[in-house]
Structure 1
Amino acid sequence: MTSFADITTIGVGGHIARFIEPTSRVGVIEAVEDADSKGLPLCVIGGGSNLLVADTPFNGVVVRDARRTITVPDEAAPVENGERIVHVNAEAGCNWDDFVAFTVELGLEGVEGLSGIPGTVGASVVQNIGAYGQEVASVVESVEAWDRQEKRTVDIPAADMGFGYRMSMLKSSMYKAPATPSDEFFPTPRYVVLSVTFALRHSATGTVGYGQLANALGVEVGDRMATTAIRDAVLYVRAAKGMLEDAGRYENPAMAGTKRADQIAIARSAQAQHIATSADTNGTESAPNPPLEPAYDRHSCGSFFMNPILTADAAARLPEDAPRFAATLPDGTPGIKTSAAWLIDHAGFHKGFKIADDARASLSTLHTLALTNRGGASAADVAALAARVQDGVEAAFGVRLVPEPVVVGLDLR
């Protein structure tokens, strides 16, 4: 029997009563409709990278779209002026990093900065993923989805997607307040993504839009570089922070076929090299072929807490050296975004923090924003750590951190 521990990047969660992998568009719709018509709990899952599920059995239906086709409706050759928008359509079940690799290989610009983010194309627009100066919202043309309320397919233009910081109208349909599930649509949005059409630019170069990335490349923010070089640098930086998924998870039979074999091989090689380098740096003799099992920093949901967006008054109460960036509050008014990682660290929760010496969950040893399963952790262990961090940050700064992952069967408000 498949469990959420088998199909999530953090490796925790209870057994699933019914796990379905439809291989057709109709099959996805029928699986969703069948669960809804019977009033069963429904979880449509992508790569399992943004999900924390309780240890108790999930007595419902989990649907994982097995369709992974990418098509290019437009002619991909550049026009004379070199400024050509190319539309690329990807089915919802396509592995996100496979999609990024495909576009870079095709000579397209627009998502290279989003390399290495685990998950699927369908999940990318629910979450509005972003990193290193890019956000998926900037390249989405439209989203094809199944409307669970109206019982019909819809094509949603990007302008109607309600994109915001780690937010979309799809995701907002699951919540009635921050971290408070909707009574009707949770843990699956009202709109189930079937495919996404992206508008990318035909170019072998891209813009370096983030300081940390510019440093890794030895250039200035705003410079243009080969998209292949940007992708490589992003993967390097993410690996150094433990923000790449564990390539070993694809050895699990429950993950078979969900990612391109060549990309798994590349990830495994890079991960093994990173482990060996880390061991050498620490003065530990490394084996010729180091195993992937010690890479516990990768056993996470990625960034666990969202960067808070505060009112000017709330931001003014933070210490002077707290990061501050212009942002927009959910009601559309100006706000100030600060760093969740900074708050966590300055509240006394440093890299590797554990509730107890023998705790099986801890903050990443590389990045305070990731909560990790150090081996044998339960969802309850992770939730207890998350709550400790939330309480500590709130006590120190008056800010309640909101989880970024979808949290099912646990209360982390």
Structure 2
Amino acid sequence: MTSPRLADLTTAAVGGPARHYVRAETERAVVDAVAGADAAGRPVLLVGGGSNLIAADAGFGGTVVHVATRGVRTLAEDADGVLLEVQAGHPWDELVARVVADGLAGIEALSGIPGTTGATPVQNVGAYGQEVAQTIELVRAWDRREGRVRTFSPEELEFSYRDSALKRGTVDGSPRHVVLAVRFRLCRGADSAPVRYGELARRLGVEVGGRAPLGRVRDTVLALRAGKGMVLDPADRDTYSTGSFFTNPILPADGLGGRVPAEAPRFPVVDVAGRPLADRVKLSAAWLIDHAGFAKGFGLPGTRNELLGLDGAAVAGGRAALSTKHTLALTNRGGASAEDLMALARTVRDGVAAVYGVELVAEPVIVGTSV
């Protein structure tokens, strides 16, 4: 079969052809594809939903393994909750919709996030006050170095903000440990887990730490995400992206210096158990980008960063731009290349560093090119 272009497998819709391509619909097929490529000495790139990946315009010279496994299995249940095992290729939002409908709480605030379940522990996916680290009980993965299936406890996964041991073992999109399935422990109840995010709490009409009906939380999160162009819509160019491109910077609480003004939003940093880390502070990447002069839509014809004297369309010819709904998303406006997105990312990153002295870090996996 003809190998697809990575542009056809990713939500940013950029990237050249794969030299070898395997669509793996079973765990055995995933392991065989990866092990076969390793035995042949070919580089491996894993693709699930493609929502956190930007691949080079030249494509990928090794084997692209498209993880397309599906399935949700109940391993144990009692009056308080259930233990579910979910295949790595199962679409994430399908899982969230299912558990909310079943009256299971713990991941409802993660509604609308594109991609597959197997990617969530790698990135410790989080939004609106929830992270998957709060509900993951075990990850089962293929260890390419040892040639065997391994299981990882939450402690072994070493979760932190948008990070894990699995992510740190991944180089250029090629992981040492290939996630096969993820186990989640979820609680029974008509109401959500405590709402920890201020914007969500306000929309729900509850105090931070309060609860709301599961379905209402899901619907509210979907509406919030759609308003920011963060729910996939083929008719909306603002959704042709990897979602939030930069992570919110976490810095020493006493190391901000005088360049970040007092009115810049600051958020507490907590560990996986929810304990605050007094010596760290989280800043808003979106606020820094906006206040460094990069408004929504920067990159489109007619846009300009007056603070830094930058013409938006000169960056990538109008083919790549910040979302018109949210400054954290770098979007393909139609016909953009990976290098167009990288040029825009570099411009924003360097501009924020010039104004505030804060280095923004890219969140997606970037293969064959760089910011």
Matched, 1:131 2:127: yes
**Residue number in structure 2 paired with 1:375:** 334
Relative to the length of structure 1, the TM-score reads: 0.81
* Corresponding residue pairs, total: 348
1:309 aligns with 2:250: yes
Match of 2:19 among 9, 17, 20: 17
Task: Please give the alpha-carbon distance, in whole angstroms, between the structure 2 residues aligned to 1:65 and 1:95.
Answer: 11
d(CA) in 2 for partners of 1:165 and 1:199? 20
C-alpha displacement of 1:328 = 6.8
1:363 aligns with 2:322: yes
In structure 2, distance between residues paired with 1:237 and 1:328: 24
Provide TM-score, normalisation by structure 2.
0.90
Cα distance in 2 for partners of 1:395, 1:224 equals 42
Residues 163-220 of structure 1: CA distance to partner in whole angstroms, max 9, x if unpaired? 000001000112xxxxxxxxxx431221110000101001121133222112222332
Counterpart position of 2:291 = 346
Contact 1:315–1:336 (8 Å) recurs in 2: no
Indicate yes or no: 2:275 matched with 1:325.
no
The correspondence for 2:160, drawn from 164, 173, 179, is: 164
**Counterparts of residues 286-301 of structure 1 (less than 5 Å):** 292=235, 295-301=236-242
Matches within 5 A, 1:136-215: 136-174=132-170, 185-206=171-192, 207-215=194-202
SS at match of 1:315: coil
Corresponding letter in the other structure for 2:326:
H
Moved over 4 A (4+): none
Unaligned runs of 5+ in 2: 272-276, 300-311
State which drifts further: 220-229 or 48-57: 220-229
Which of 220, 223, 233 is the matching residue for 1:236?
223
Aligned to 1:103: 99
Letter in 2 for 1:301: T
* Distance across 1 between alignment mates of 2:207 and 2:288: 28
Change (3 A) 1:41 1:197: same
CA distance in 2, matches of 1:343, 1:40: 41
Amino acid at match of 1:353: F
1:29 aligns with 2:31: yes
Which residue identity does 1:93 align to in structure 2? G
Structure with a larger share of its residues in helix? 1
Does the 8 A contact of 1:309 with 1:328 survive in 2?
no
Q: Distance in 1 between matches of 2:206 and 2:245?
A: 30
Whether the 8 Å contact between 2:69 and 2:90 is mirrored in structure 1 is yes
Q: Is the 8 A contact 1:245 1:299 kept in 2?
A: yes
Q: Residue type of the partner of 1:322?
A: A
Distance in 2, matches of 1:328 and 1:102, equals: 29
Q: Quick one: percent identity of the two aligned structures?
A: 50
- Give 2:209's aligned residue: 222
1:406 aligns with 2:365: yes
Stretches of structure 1 that go unaligned for 5 or more consecutive residues are 175-184, 249-291
Kindly indicate whether the alpha-carbon contact (under 8 Å) linking 2:47 and 2:64 is maintained by their aligned counterparts in 1: yes
User: Cα RMSD over matched residues?
Assistant: 1.6
Please give the secondary structure, in 1, of the residue aligned with 2:174: coil
Check conservation: 1:4, 1:16, Cα contact below 8 A.
yes
Deviation at 1:44, TM superposition (A): 0.8
